[in-house]
């Protein structure tokens, strides 16, 4: 489908989704965003749903301003995927050992490594920039500096919620490794701190929603936020890089006889800010639950823990600010999913996948998400499908 245009106070709302299928609370959030004085454009992805301040699945282009809540509290959250030389014929019938080895190598939930992981200890992992990255820690907000030890030990960990590590098979039989995570607790704390700062600024007092508070250019508050934002985005990228190195290490050891090799990684943030130019204007584009899909750029659009995912290539649609959805998107809240579904439902909906099937992950059941096939179909003018993947192992946080 192409987009549907809805009127907004300052800019039209371009929706790659059926407005009738979007929750009323999410539609109100979109209308609220369209009232912001600094806004120059708003594109809505097919996985759109209610979020804090701004919806998940929205791309907001502003001039001279950034809304921290339109980035999300998991700054830099995103995906990484890599195709391996393994095929499904190399996989054992019982995948429980492989899942266990992954869980041992990559801490999940609130877990962290006992000692910081040395990136120099992995075959082929580029370590340029790591020292400079940690050297810039002293420049972030004083309120979170005491978290450095935890931040170093959480580097290379999964986290909780909808974060995951998967082993997948595509339609040609190739085995892929894929993971989804972000900037861990340090990114969340930086985001929450700066949202609190923004809400107290005088220019934000008349906004329709206090969660839409912004920082404006050429102010010390904007400079401080951008510094911490870009640092946290890097943290998230390094976190995924290290997790993928740990995951490859597990695969090398478990499939020693097959001597697996790995293609270049595909990586994409979906909670971040970028400086981009549209219609002759330099804009700050926030993607919250959306990926960049410039012409020829690879992206990853996952479904749920039982349905599969897509590797895509962007078509460079400037009406959507060169963007696409970040996944299937939730169709019900976590609490609603827990009320609606049981562990028996989870077992049925994840049949054939080696994964947790206990009450702790019922809120991540496939039935709580929109149809990934429909989401992909609604953005045929934003991306083209390169590969369809189906998970055989899923490690949830």
Annotated binding site for GMP: 162-166, 270-271, 302-305, 309, 326-329, 396
Residue 365 neighbours by CB under 8 Å, 6+ apart: 304, 305, 306, 337, 341, 345, 346, 349, 350
- Read off the tokens for 320: 């959507």
From 247, 81, 267, 105, select the one nearest 169 (Cα to Cα): 81
Strand boundaries in the chain, DSSP class E: 4-6, 13-15, 39-49, 56-62, 65-66, 78-87, 164-170, 174-181, 215-216, 266-269, 271-278, 281-288, 290-292, 298-302, 309-314, 323-325, 354-355, 383-396
Q: How far is CA 235 from CA 2, 126, 151, 239, in A?
A: 35, 15, 9, 6
From 360, 371, 363, select the one nearest 341 (Cα to Cα): 363
The helix/strand/coil state of 110 is: coil
Distance (Å, whole) CA 372 – CA 305: 11
- Read off the tokens for 151: 């931040």
3-state helix, strand, coil in the chain (%, to 5): 35, 25, 35
Phi/psi for 69 (5° steps) reads -70, -20
- Give kind and range of the element (H or E) at residue 237: helix 220-254
Determine whether 269 is an active site residue.
no
Looking up tokens 């055989």, which residue turns up? 392
- Read off the tokens for 56: 């998940």
Annotation: binding site: 74, 162-166, 180, 270-271, 302-305, 309, 326-329, 396
The helix/strand/coil state of 260 is: coil
Q: Which of 49, 194, 269, 326 is catalytic?
A: 326
Residue 139 neighbours by CB under 8 Å, 6+ apart: 227, 231
Catalytic residue set: 326
């Amino acid at each position: 489908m192409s987009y549907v245009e809805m009127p907004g106070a300052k800019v039209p709302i371009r929706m790659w989704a059926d407005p009738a299928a979007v929750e009323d609370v999410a539609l109100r959030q979109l209308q609220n965003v369209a009232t912001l004085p600094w806004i120059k454009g708003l594109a809505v992805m097919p996985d759109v749903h209610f979020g804090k301040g701004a919806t998940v699945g929205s791309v907001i282009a502003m001039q001279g301003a950034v809304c921290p809540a339109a980035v999300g509290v998991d700054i830099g959250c995103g995906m990484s995927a890599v195709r391996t030389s393994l095929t499904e014929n190399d996989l054992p019938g019982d995948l429980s050992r492989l899942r266990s080895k992954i869980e041992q190598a990559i801490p999940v939930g609130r877990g962290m490594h006992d000692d910081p992981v040395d990136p120099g200890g992995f075959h082929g992992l580029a370590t340029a920039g790591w020292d400079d990255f940690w050297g810039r820690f002293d420049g972030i907000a004083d309120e979170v500096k005491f978290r450095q030890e935890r931040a170093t030990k959480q580097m290379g960990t999964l986290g909780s919620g909808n974060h995951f590590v998967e082993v997948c098979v595509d339609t040609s039989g190739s085995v892929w490794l894929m993971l989804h995570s972000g900037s861990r607790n340090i990114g969340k704390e930086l985001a929450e701190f700066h949202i609190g700062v923004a809400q107290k600024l005088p220019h934000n007092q008349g906004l329709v929603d206090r969660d839409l508070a912004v920082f404006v250019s050429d102010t010390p508050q904007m400079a401080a936020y951008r510094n911490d934002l870009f640092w946290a985005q890097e943290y998230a990228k390094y976190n995924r890089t290290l997790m993928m190195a740990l995951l490859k290490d597990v695969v090398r050891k478990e499939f020693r006889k097959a001597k697996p090799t790995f293609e270049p990684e595909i990586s994409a943030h979906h909670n971040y800010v970028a400086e981009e130019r549209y219609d002759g204007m330099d804009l700050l584009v926030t993607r919250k639950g959306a990926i960049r899909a410039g012409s020829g750029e690879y992206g990853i659009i996952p479904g749920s823990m039982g349905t599969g995912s897509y590797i895509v290539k962007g078509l460079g649609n400037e009406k959507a600010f060169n963007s696409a959805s970040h996944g299937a998107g939730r169709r019900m809240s976590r609490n609603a999913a827990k009320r609606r579904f049981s562990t028996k439902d989870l077992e049925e909906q994840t049949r054939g996948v080696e994964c947790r099937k206990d009450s702790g992950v019922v809120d991540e059941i496939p039935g709580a998400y929109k149809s990934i096939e429909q989401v992909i179909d609604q953005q045929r003018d934003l991306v083209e499908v390169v590969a369809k993947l189906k998970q055989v192992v899923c490690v949830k946080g």
